[in-house]
A and B are shown apart, each in its own frame.
Chain A
């Protein structure tokens, strides 16, 4: 075998295809095993978490009150109440965030793909990357310094939304940018050749072509910000009652509902925070899966 080929010229074996090198074959097998194992290791937490949340949280969700009632007047020890206030709070905050972040994100992406050249474009692209990496707690602190210390406003749900906007913009920019880049140049040129101005070309030709991809990006972005807790801790103290006004009073949200009850050791609170966790995961996963499905559908149609 080729184990000892120390002589200056290693002789070619007579019929080398009969003699696979065992050491190398073993290494190859080991690598295969390692690679498959790594994948299993990566999937275990996902399965485990989903199992945990479903098994511990499903009970709360099966009670119809969960979807209709708030926690008003309910202490940690008492059973009952629902998550309606938190669900509606999370949805309202997500909606406001999207309304602000999507136009800015989409227009920034349009700038980067359709207009941007030179230093400013590079600066914008760099800053989008930096924004992607800004921790949610830093975004929250920034809005705090702006909203509370500079303007002197109270901490309200709208301030939370502003912090979430910061986190959502880069997701929307990057996914929209990807989609716009995929729109073939011939389409734009065909439109210009018909005498259509650039802005109408973008509005009527480029954006519709990229539309489903942009929707995917928005849904994934929403999925990310809905699960954020840090901005809520700093800017949106929890509430047990229903409040639909983002500019006044405290508004509940699912992450703060979990956080508020998680260190209680009584069964009632335990059921509630796992229930809230399951509700949150369902919302986030639904958005996530919807986003992926749309992008897959989009691929087929191309």
Chain B
């Protein structure tokens, strides 16, 4: 059920400010694509346009097209809510709903979609928690609040919550930046497993992480502060890290700036 993404000439705005300019790229199904680049280069902003979360921010809008299996996400008759159900998202900081139990957190999305059947819910919660490598740790305390888990567990809970609605694409916005190294490893292992089922796009600050988890890597950069961010190049990950086409990419990955 994983699907491909095709972006054409996408400009992203915050009100009048153009944050990202002229991005075109394709993402194949069942691959992991990493976005890297210095802070403020617009990689997270761009990521949020892939499930129309960008327009949640007042003044947020885009020009250009983002296609999911050939369907324009920004088409006139497309419901942004349906887009977000199809393209799931995991955020920088784990954000389980604080008033809900672990079970309810995972079930939240399914319940929103009208799933009331208890058996279905239970099955899918277990499957999602297993999928997020969290089942064994929490199976005895599903009724406890999700906020009581460690940071890494919370993040995996959020991943379970995202995959429980059976999206076709999973976006991850620096999912490990608030986590310790051991939890980070657990998430990276998880990403490797998840890509058999989902198309994954991940924003990361950590170049080793990009090298470890992704099949393809996109490098974003901006000419100067106040200028829009741009996609510099996108290629297979080993190409980017061994033999980049652009000078800026090489400078960045060799640590000369950023």
- Nearest A-chain residue to B72, judged by Cβ: A17
- Nearest B-chain residue to A6, judged by Cβ: B117
> Is the Cβ of A16 less than 8 Å from the Cβ of B115?
no
Q: How far is the CA of A24 from the CA of B85 in the complex (A)?
A: 13
> Is the Cβ of B166 less than 8 Å from the Cβ of A12?
yes
List A6-32 residues whose CB lies under 8 Å from chain B.
Answer: 6, 8-10, 12, 15-21, 23-25, 28
Interface-facing stretch out of B73-81, B91-99, B205-213 = B73-81
Q: How far is the CA of A19 from the CA of B1 in the complex (A)?
A: 16
Known: A16-B82, A17-B86. A23 touches B114 (CB 8 A): yes
> Is the Cβ of B123 less than 8 Å from the Cβ of A19?
no
- Nearest B-chain residue to A2, judged by Cβ: B114
Q: Does B68 count as interface, using CB distance less than 8 angstroms?
A: yes
The count of residues in chain A whose C-beta lies closer than 8 Å to any C-beta of chain B is 18
> Is the Cβ of A21 less than 8 Å from the Cβ of B78?
no
Interchain nearest-CB distance for B197 vs A (Å): 11
Q: Does A149 count as interface, using CB distance less than 8 angstroms?
A: no
B77 proximity list for chain A (CB < 8 A): 18
Q: Does A5 count as interface, using CB distance less than 8 angstroms?
A: yes
The count of residues in chain B whose C-beta lies closer than 8 Å to any C-beta of chain A is 24
Known: A2-B114, A17-B83. A8 touches B123 (CB 8 A): yes
> Is the Cβ of B123 less than 8 Å from the Cβ of A24?
no
Q: Does B113 count as interface, using CB distance less than 8 angstroms?
A: yes
A16 proximity list for chain B (CB < 8 A): 82, 85-86
List B48-77 residues whose CB lies under 8 Å from chain A.
Answer: 68-69, 71, 73, 77
Q: Majority SS of interface residues in chain A? A: loop
Q: How far is the CA of A6 from the CA of B117 in the complex (A)?
A: 7
Interchain nearest-CB distance for B46 vs A (Å): 19
A5 proximity list for chain B (CB < 8 A): 114-115
Q: A21 is contacted by which of B73, B86, B114, B119 (Cβ under 8 Å)?
A: B114
> Is the Cβ of B1 less than 8 Å from the Cβ of A12?
yes
List B118-159 residues whose CB lies under 8 Å from chain A.
Answer: 119-120, 123-124
B119 proximity list for chain A (CB < 8 A): 8
A18 proximity list for chain B (CB < 8 A): 71, 77-78, 82
Q: How far is the CA of A12 from the CA of B69 in the complex (A)?
A: 15
Q: How far is the CA of A6 from the CA of B71 in the complex (A)?
A: 28
Produce 1/0 per residue, B14-41, CB < 8 A to A. 0000000000000000000000000000
B124 proximity list for chain A (CB < 8 A): 9
Q: Does B204 count as interface, using CB distance less than 8 angstroms?
A: no
B117 proximity list for chain A (CB < 8 A): 6
- Nearest B-chain residue to A8, judged by Cβ: B120
> Is the Cβ of A20 less than 8 Å from the Cβ of B114?
no
Interchain nearest-CB distance for B234 vs A (Å): 24
Known: A5-B115, A21-B114. A12 touches B82 (CB 8 A): no
Q: A10 is contacted by which of B73, B82, B120 (Cβ under 8 Å)?
A: B120
Q: B78 is contacted by which of A10, A12, A17, A24 (Cβ under 8 Å)?
A: A17
- Nearest A-chain residue to B110, judged by Cβ: A10
Known: A5-B114, A6-B117, A12-B166. A20 touches B81 (CB 8 A): yes
> Is the Cβ of A17 less than 8 Å from the Cβ of B120?
no
Interchain nearest-CB distance for A32 vs B (Å): 13
27 A-B residue contacts at CB 8 Å? A2-B114, A5-B114, A5-B115, A8-B119, A8-B123, A9-B120, A9-B123, A9-B124, A10-B115, A10-B120, A12-B1, A12-B168, A15-B69, A16-B82, A17-B71, A17-B82, A17-B83, A17-B86, A19-B82, A20-B81, A20-B82, A21-B82, A21-B113, A23-B114, A24-B112, A25-B79, A25-B81
Query: What residues make up the interface of B, taking CB atoms closer than 8 Å to A?
Result: 1, 68-69, 71, 73, 77-79, 81-83, 85-86, 112-115, 117, 119-120, 123-124, 166, 168
Query: What residues make up the interface of A, taking CB atoms closer than 8 Å to B?
Result: 2, 5-6, 8-10, 12, 15-21, 23-25, 28
